Amino acid sequence: MSMSRRRFLTAAAAGSALVVLATQQATLPPRRARWFLFGTLVDVELIEPAGHDATPVLALLAERLQRLHVDWHAWKPGRLGDLNRALASGLPYVAEPSLLALVRDAQSLSQRCGGLFNPAIGGLIGLWGFHRDEMLAGSIPSRDAIERLLDADVTPDALTFDGDTVRSRNPAVQLDLGAYAKGYALDLAQTLLHDHGFADAVVNAGGDLVASGRGPGRPWHIGIRHPSGRGTLALIETAGREAVVTSGNYERYRVLDGRRYAHILDPRTGWPAEAVASATVVCADAALADAASTAISVAGEQWPDVAVAFGIDQAMVVTADGRVQFTRAMYERVDPVNLRARAVSVIA
Ligand code: ADP
Ligand code: MG
């Protein structure tokens, strides 16, 4: 029986790009928790082994994620804000270990894709008005202002590290970890659950998720939603620990001068990247998947080169004009629920 014909009991996380589904074959229902963090709903589903109550670990996880949400926020007061102020004034900043690791990794991931994922473009992202909870209508930034920021040549290469101290050689560098921190937090969440004896879990932050182990009586099934928000394009069963992360320009965008401008920017031009509607990456590491899915969204038709640069063999792209493109390894594992009528190709 194909997965698409099975009957599903629940569809969690409404509004997300991906949905975790549990079937009627379930033995015991999974334990669930839900919080609003990182600008999205975070859903946890886990299997409690006999005699193992997940209540304490869920409380600990909620507290840790809340802390990271505050520490890594791009535009609200917190540690990242303090770091950005120091970078702008050329002062050294002593970073707490998890922020330091996050920034160092972001620098090296940016280097791997030639800066298509560029966490140093916080100034540009702010200029486009994406540093707000609500996406207000308005006017597009002036070409001069965009050019000035591009001329400042902001890349994370300007960051230097000395022990736990960070500084920037370029005062225009402003870190925005929005394309990456959520993935990083998902990895930390899964590790915490695993270390407390919960080996079968899905942590889902608005459609970006890490699954580990198995669901109730069978593997976890993950649905990849169509970028339009209507329907599921494909389903996959995860095995072991796997991250499934989607970057999309369909959920967060502003209407400026009557047109839609999406929140993923092309650091080469300073303008929103428009060729890709959504990019889904599957790999072991959610932080890598998050940075890679953003870089793939920026790359457009050249996206297979970016996947190779990140060592990723499973990716799926929906182009702005509705074509669905797969890497071979991704195509071979998905159940194509809703691909029949679409222009599908295996291109990498
Ligand atoms: P989603 O929010 O759909 O998961 P992403 O993971 O791609 O999407 O993150 C998009 C966010 O990353 C933007 O809101 C912005 O804060 C930041 N960003 C936008 N463009 C880039 C880029 N080229 N490199 C790094 N960060 C970016
Ligand atoms: Mg991302």
Domains of the chain: 3-70+181-346 (3.10.520.10), 73-168 (1.10.3980.10)
**Is 0.95 surpassed by the pTM of this model?**
no
Is residue 181 in contact with ligand 1, taking CB distance under 6 Å? no
Model confidence at 348: pLDDT above 90:
no
Query: Residues of the chain with pLDDT > 90: what percent?
Result: 83
5 CA to centre of ligand 2 in angstroms: 31
Is residue 119 in contact with ligand 1, taking CB distance under 6 Å? yes
111, 117, 128, 176, best to mutate for ligand 1 pocket (most atoms within 8 Å of CB): 176
Please, are residues 273 and 263 in contact by the beta-carbon 8 Å criterion?
A: no
| Nearest residue by C-alpha to atom 14 in ligand 1 | 263
Model confidence at 10: pLDDT above 70:
no
Model confidence at 7: pLDDT above 80:
no
Model confidence at 231: pLDDT above 90:
no
> What confidence tens digit (pLDDT) does each residue in 90-130 have?
999 999 999 999 999 999 999 999 999 999 999 999 999 99
For residue 338, name the pLDDT band (cuts at 50, 70, 90).
confident
49 CA to centre of ligand 2 in angstroms: 33
Average the pLDDT over each of 45-54, 237-246, 251-260, 339-348 and give the range with the smallest value: 339-348
Is residue 130 in contact with ligand 1, taking CB distance under 6 Å? yes
Is residue 107 in contact with ligand 1, taking CB distance under 6 Å? no
Query: Residues of the chain with pLDDT > 70: what percent?
Result: 92
Is residue 264 in contact with ligand 1, taking CB distance under 6 Å? yes
Both tokens of residue 21?
């589904």
The helix/strand/coil state of 164 is coil
Spatial neighbors of 25 by CB under 8 A, at least 6 apart, are: 216, 217, 218
Average the pLDDT over each of 3-12, 146-155, 172-181, 195-204 and give the range with the smallest value: 3-12
Question: Quick one: how far is CA 313 from the chain centroid?
Answer: 17
Q: What is the pLDDT of residue 13?
A: 33
220 CA to centre of ligand 2 in angstroms: 22
User: Distance between CA 237 and CA 56 in Å, rounded?
Assistant: 29
The helix/strand/coil state of 1 is coil
User: Distance between CA 83 and CA 103 in Å, rounded?
Assistant: 10
> What confidence tens digit (pLDDT) does each residue in 42-91 have?
999 999 999 999 999 999 999 999 999 999 998 999 999 999 999 999 99
For the chain, give the mean pLDDT.
91
Please, are residues 22 and 33 in contact by the beta-carbon 8 Å criterion?
A: no
In this predicted model, which residue has the larger pLDDT, 76 or 226? 76
User: Distance between CA 79 and CA 181 in Å, rounded?
Assistant: 13
Q: What is the pLDDT of residue 19?
A: 47
85 CA to centre of ligand 1 in angstroms: 21
Both tokens of residue 295?
């870089």
48 CA to centre of ligand 2 in angstroms: 30
Please, are residues 179 and 26 in contact by the beta-carbon 8 Å criterion?
A: no
